[in-house]
Structure 1
Amino acid sequence: MKLVPTALAEVVEIQPTRHGDERGWFSEIFRSDVLADAGLDTDFVQDNESFSATSGTLRGIHYQLPPHAQVKLVRVIRGAVLDVAVDLRRESPTFGDHVAVILTADSGNQLLVPAGFGHAFLTLERDTQVGYKVSAPYDPERERSVRWDDPALGIDWPLAGDIPVLSARDAVAPLLADQPDLFDPPTGQESSS
């Protein structure tokens, strides 16, 4: 298992090793000891899975506030996505910056998105299935979202001018500047400025 740094130090791409022969391949997709040895010790408590029938389906930018802020370990089971993590820690020097990584079932790569970051993905193929581990259970009272096309974020979604397929909630998510509930990096608690 190889850990690959990204432009935002806290977000890590993970490339599990595949051992192949004439039958196919075998891979350890999660090793808590490997992550802990790299200082990424997280107790995952829930596994989630989504299926998107069409290419161009965009889910996010979602996050949960403390005490249910989530670390996410995201991988593609079938298809491909552009996976995006946005720094939402209001006092962070990289506040509002993002990392975008293409995750595919063929490559088996994963993205570790820390608490304090928003997460989104855009499907690049039809019939895409995404699985991810989270470190806190889903809490609808603590769930928030930021608008996917916020110009302040500058995310280059590969949409070729098309509008993505969005949920009703994602279509009306507030801009980052209008979001009252974000993160304060020293304590991990939300800010209300």
Structure 2
Amino acid sequence: MLSIDSLIKQTRTYRRFDESVAIDRLQIVRWLGIVRQTPSARNAQPLKYIIITDTELCHEITAKQHWASMLPEWDGPSVGERPRAYLLQILDTDIAPAARFDEGIQLQALGLLATEAGYGTCIFGGHGKAEFSRRLGLPTHLSINAIIAIGKPREEVVLEEARNPEDVRYWRDKEGRHHVPKRPLSELIIEPNKPSIF
């Protein structure tokens, strides 16, 4: 079993998947059964999910997303590298007008669960949300908040210290490894001036 720090480091954004490896819908249901137990602002729990495993609909969603803004020459995963499932994270505005904290907590929990099971995710703000809402017949109080691709990762993601704190753009090397520079810890922790008591 992975330690929590190893699990967090391995929970990356994956953009290429092994399309030959299916994911069981019941596996996703099990993850959501755990995700629903995460903290929720005011315990309102306004987030819901639609599980999509239909191959053609998955391909349509894949084609509509913007996969890597920092790799403009790359059009997204090719045949054989597309995700096998998607989750649509839905906000029920009859319950709450927003889910600012809940959405991130649940998306990270989902990523951790997927990683632990040998899968990976990619989270999108969601291009084509209005079109998919119409197609799925969603009532106006159910709004697509995020689109999550799920599949068996087919790429290596390398975490590294940012050489230049101003440049944290991810990139790919000649072997196709995806490099993700992270700002140093010294930039993360702020030490403000201690105010005088008098």
TM-score if structure 1 supplies the norm length? 0.26
Structure in which a larger fraction of residues adopt strand: 1
> Radius of gyration: which is bigger?
2
TM-score if structure 2 supplies the norm length? 0.25
